[in-house]
Structure 1
Amino acid sequence: MSLSQKTTNSRQTSQSQTGDGAQTSRRGNDVLGSKPIAPLVASLALPAVVAQACNAMYTIVDRLFLAHIPEIGDQAMTGVGICFPITLAISAFAMLVGMGGAPLASIELGRGNRKNAEQLLGTSVAMLLALGIVIPTLLQVTKTPILNAFGASEATLPYAEDFLGIYLTGSICVMFALGLNTFITAQGRALVAMGSVLIGALSSLALDPLFIFVFGMGVKGAALANVLAQSFSAIWVLAFLTSDRGSIRLRGRYLRFTRQLAPMLLLGFSPFIMQITESVIQVVFNASLERYGGDDYVATMTIMLSLMQLIFIFSQGISQGLQPVIGYNYGAKLYDRVRTAYRGTMIVQVAINCTMTTLFALFAQYLAGLFSSDPTIIGIVEHTLPWFVCGMGVFGVQNIVQCAFVGMGQAKPSLFLAIFRKIILLVPLAFLLPTLGLGTTGVFLAEPISDATSALVAGLLFHHSVKRLLK
């Protein structure tokens, strides 16, 4: 063998051994860079949609069962609804870590850097562990004044306290299940990610009626069922990430804070803002409606936000399926595939949103009857729901734009869009419009105005930015 052949073979051997299995990782994830975009995104998005549907069942099923407790059903459902901003805040911190670390891991896998991807995973686990201890401890101490500030009345406060006290004890499992499942999707293993959520959702569906009605635990039973179900999901996720079945693995030597924490949190700050401001919005909604309308209007908002979750099931599921495709191909500099991915999914997203908002408008009375038997509450939902959700038809534009920005590692524009819709538009409008003589109608109008305006701004910003990002 000649000297040049030996040198070439030596280089090939060296390259195959670099990056702690980088070439193996690249081959294992090459489907993200080679499979046709439409079936690829569909194969990742459909399991993610199913997973999001299962995830939404935790709150929707809780409310459906609680609403049918004899005599106290509406109050129990409203009390749990008042806790919802706090549960959203907990999931927001999980998204801060998971939606920041997982897209960066996808980009590193696209570059063939398996070691860096595993370091991101280890850092994420360390951060989730810290947050899962500190945040629930602080909330346990302050839950009563917080619930009062969030719109709890004398009638609904006891139910809110019972639910939240138990939920917080197991919230670290919630953070692990939500925050780390994104790292499974980031590897293109959408079916495995769906399985973790499916386990939790089906467990909740079985345990809810058992604890609420058979054992007579009421809202405490709903909280306990929720915690146990999320624990099962967390065990599934950790079992997969510590095995050798994936492209990246959770290793003890990477379980620490590293310099990757700062860019990870910066990128995750946009989805965090989206979720935490959703929590803030619901606080504003509940407090304003309690002031201008009373418990019936707070119950109405609880029902309508539960129905809005059905739209977000598709939005978030499509985002989770799209993001690893954009991240991997952006890291591999396959820009035509990036363009094809976000263009096609944007059309699909808007079509789905428009269809669902139309169905909500047509069947508002029937949908309200699933959650309440009170004719006053049903009447308010029937009158309000059609125009409350109408802005969600075009909101799919912002959803895909933010997903594309995060997938390409662009934290600043994604963060701006999150702040613009919730903090610049929605919160001020929810405070201002009721004072202009609109009362509760003003609170409900704030949502569609913000949704439509932010979608327009997101489309213009992306059109301007994409020319620079995808040269």
Structure 2
Amino acid sequence: MGSAATGFVKNNKKVTWKEFARMLAVLAVPIAMQNLLATTASMVDTIMIGSEGEIAVAAVGVCAQIGSLLFSTYWGFVSCSLLFMSQYWGAKDPEGMNKAFGLAIICAGIFGIAFAVVTVAAPGWILGIYTDKVEIIALAKPYMRIVGWSYPLQVFAAIITALLKSTERVKVPLVCSVISLLLNFCINFVLIYGKFGAPKMGVAGAAIGTLVSGIVNIALLILYLAKSRHEIKFSARKAFDIDMGFVKSYASKAFPIVCNEILYGVGQMIINVVMGHQSDSAIAAMAAFRVCEGFVYAFFGGLANASSVAVGNEVGAGNLDRGLSYAKRAALVCPAITFTIVLITMLLHNPLFGLFGLGAEAMMYTKYMLIIYLFFGAVRTCCYIQNECFRAGGEAIVGTVMEISGLMLFSVPATWVAGMVLKLPFLAVFSFVYTDELLRFVILTPYLLKGRWIKPMTGPGRAALDEFRGRMKRNKHRAR
């Protein structure tokens, strides 16, 4: 990374715990805080609409599930751009970074615009896929018509944030998120409840708050990108200058990652369809649980993003042993953090979930959902961060095959049969959602330790690859 960077790339082979802690402080904490604020924005809508009753909470929750499907479609391009940009940042290649950024904007933008068109033009149709509850659909339709306009903004903001993360400028997205969250809260307060002479709009008011805050967030990010004097500057000419050789290289990595995210989103959509056909209390409980699950993701997602940047930087710079070392430490620390957060949430169950205006049955559901998630969440986190590190190291296929095959062959069929065929009680249905995680954990952990996923795309990384692989083979023989 050189002297101009913040100093994660070093010559020594292993990453010390002190260095790992520094990476957490410099990269992971700001990213986690930004993720937390993004989750808080969703929570603000859900909590503030709680005064309108469980049906309103369920309506916002169903809309959030559609937003999650969008996230799955564009996150593949975000992940791929992080893969390329972090390695190019380690190799000090601004031209490569700009090309990766431009392709991500074009590809992900297509999905964002397509989702906007569908949700704005036919909200009833897409909501009908997720739930058969007429009351929920009626409340959710005006929300979707407004929030749909924000989808392209979310996509472009995510790509810009990926560029900033890969160059270790993590404080800027955090500040932008704080400003947009405060604005979202203020608009929600005025329009949901009809304060200061404004009309009382309920669910639609929450949607307006989300849209306006999204506009402000992307505007601030673009303004910073235009004014930044960082050594890696955005160049529209370089970003959108189509180089077919680079497009082929990008596509070879992006295709499995994008397929991973889209198929994962489809699998989650099927699971959400099952949940959308449960009782009103179960749907409301699921909406509240998803918000709290988002808080957990904020922390482990921040660590995963930071670790992938650190791994990509080291691999791109040719320090392959250090890239492997970062990945090992992250796979150990991240599940422990997840377990701790879920445990604290369990202990604070009543005051936390009481904010959502849930009834007694829904509150009971959330309690036992957390107990189930306490174990599976930690395992899931480990699998997630391993896949992120694989991608940062240049391997985009193994994690994809494991995640999608586990989801489609185990979790989705089991959940569907339990909920739609056998009509089991809600908590029994929910327990099948994470059935694939243990299998993935058992297979992916040895693969992580062997380091075969390190496949550099930069000159310095490729130059160090043969020596690294030879050293890993010798270590394997010694272990025997």
TM-score normalised by structure 2 residue count: 0.85
- Map 1:243-282; keep pairs closer than 5 Å: 243-256=227-240, 257-259=242-244, 260-268=246-254, 272=258, 276=262, 279-282=265-268
| Conservation of the 8 A alpha-carbon contact between 1:107 and 1:328 | yes
Other-structure match for 1:422: 407
Computed over aligned residues only, the root mean square deviation of the Cα atoms, in angstroms, reads 2.5
Question: Which SS does the other structure have where 1:112 is aligned?
Answer: coil
Question: Which SS does the other structure have where 1:449 is aligned?
Answer: coil
Tell me by how many angstroms 1:224 deviates.
1.0
Other-structure match for 2:73: 93
The answer as to 2:182 corresponding to 1:202 is yes
The answer as to 2:159 corresponding to 1:179 is yes
Q: Which moved more, 1:173-182 or 1:354-363?
A: 354-363
Question: Which SS does the other structure have where 1:390 is aligned?
Answer: helix
Tell me by how many angstroms 1:270 deviates.
5.9
**Aligned pair partner of 2:442 in 456, 464, 467:** 456
Q: CA separation in 2, counterparts of 1:314 and 1:112?
A: 29
Question: Which SS does the other structure have where 1:438 is aligned?
Answer: coil
Other-structure match for 1:144: 124
**Aligned pair partner of 1:39 in 13, 22, 27:** 22
Q: Deviations over 1:285-324 (max 9, x none)?
A: 4432444x42111111111111111111111111111111
The answer as to 2:5 corresponding to 1:29 is yes
| Conservation of the 8 A alpha-carbon contact between 1:271 and 1:418 | no
Question: Which SS does the other structure have where 1:155 is aligned?
Answer: helix
Q: Which moved more, 1:434-443 or 1:169-178?
A: 434-443
| Conservation of the 8 A alpha-carbon contact between 1:100 and 1:266 | no
Instruction: Rate the CA distance shift 1:169–1:123 in 2: closer, same or farther, 3 A.
Output: same
Q: CA separation in 1, counterparts of 2:344 and 2:434?
A: 16
Q: Deviations over 1:155-185 (max 9, x none)?
A: 1112211111001122221111122201100
Tell me by how many angstroms 1:386 deviates.
1.2
The answer as to 2:49 corresponding to 1:66 is yes
Question: Which SS does the other structure have where 1:156 is aligned?
Answer: helix
Q: CA separation in 2, counterparts of 1:31 and 1:332?
A: 12
Tell me by how many angstroms 1:265 deviates.
5.0
| Conservation of the 8 A alpha-carbon contact between 2:257 and 2:397 | no
Other-structure match for 1:332: 317
Amino acid at match of 1:409: G
- Map 1:380-459; keep pairs closer than 5 Å: 380-434=365-419, 435-436=421-422, 438-459=424-445
Other-structure match for 1:220: 204
Instruction: Rate the CA distance shift 1:138–1:100 in 2: closer, same or farther, 3 A.
Output: same
Q: CA separation in 1, counterparts of 2:46 and 2:139?
A: 12
Q: CA separation in 2, counterparts of 1:373 and 1:440?
A: 16
Tell me by how many angstroms 1:26 deviates.
4.6
Instruction: Rate the CA distance shift 1:133–1:449 in 2: closer, same or farther, 3 A.
Output: closer
Instruction: Rate the CA distance shift 1:234–1:270 in 2: closer, same or farther, 3 A.
Output: farther
Tell me by how many angstroms 1:65 deviates.
0.4
The count of aligned residue pairs is: 443
Instruction: Mark the runs of 5 or more structure 1 residues left unpaired by the alignment.
Output: 1-24
The answer as to 2:143 corresponding to 1:163 is yes
The answer as to 2:214 corresponding to 1:230 is yes
Tell me by how many angstroms 1:278 deviates.
5.7
Amino acid at match of 1:328: N
Q: CA separation in 1, counterparts of 2:208 and 2:227?
A: 29
| Conservation of the 8 A alpha-carbon contact between 2:394 and 2:453 | no
Q: Deviations over 1:211-234 (max 9, x none)?
A: 211231211111111111112221
Other-structure match for 1:15: none
**Where do 4+ consecutive residues of structure 1 move more than 4 Å?**
268-279, 467-470
Amino acid at match of 2:25: A
| Conservation of the 8 A alpha-carbon contact between 1:391 and 1:447 | no
Q: CA separation in 1, counterparts of 2:429 and 2:107?
A: 37
Tell me by how many angstroms 1:392 deviates.
0.6
Q: CA separation in 2, counterparts of 1:455 and 1:53?
A: 26
Question: Which SS does the other structure have where 1:246 is aligned?
Answer: coil
Instruction: Rate the CA distance shift 1:246–1:425 in 2: closer, same or farther, 3 A.
Output: farther
| Conservation of the 8 A alpha-carbon contact between 1:204 and 1:226 | yes
Q: Which moved more, 1:270-279 or 1:312-321?
A: 270-279
Amino acid at match of 1:51: Q
Other-structure match for 2:464: none
Instruction: Mark the runs of 5 or more structure 2 residues left unpaired by the alignment.
Output: 456-467, 470-480
